[in-house]
Amino acid sequence: MVPILTEEERRQNLDKALKARRERAEVKTKLSSGEMSVDDVFRLADDGNEAILRMPVESLMRSLPGYALSRAQKLMKRLRIAQSRRIRGLSKRQRNELLKALGGSNEA
């Protein structure tokens, strides 16, 4: 059953979603420019950043220089990471292997 929201509640939810999308877009831009590393993204996730925790792994990878759709999907398949997986849903093994493959540290 879909909850019935007031106009104010609906507006607050839309604003919250917009803020999260903007935050993810900023992180992806910083990844592509080299200002931020994959380690930095996982540190933000470890600090409980909801926007980052909900970011799809494929989206994270495709933000990196040299990782287009095909290369990202091949690596995810090799690491046994589902295409729909989000950062929050990575197992410790998947996270360590992903960091290793992307040149990060293995401090998970």
Pairwise CA distance, residues 21 & 9, whole Å: 19
Question: Rounded mean pLDDT of 83-98?
Answer: 94
Torsion of CA 48, 107, 98, 63, to 10 degrees: 50
What is the reported pLDDT for 1? 82
108 confidence band (pLDDT: 50, 70, 90): very low
Reply yes or no on domain 7-101 having CATH 1.10.8.50: yes
d(CA 78, CA 72): 10
Q: What is the pLDDT of residues 25-80, one digit of tens each?
A: 999 999 999 999 999 999 999 999 999 999 999 999 999 998 999 999 999 999 99
For the chain, the domains span: 7-101
Alpha-carbon span 87 to 71, nearest angstrom = 18
Residue 55's CB is within 10 A of a number of other CB atoms, namely 23
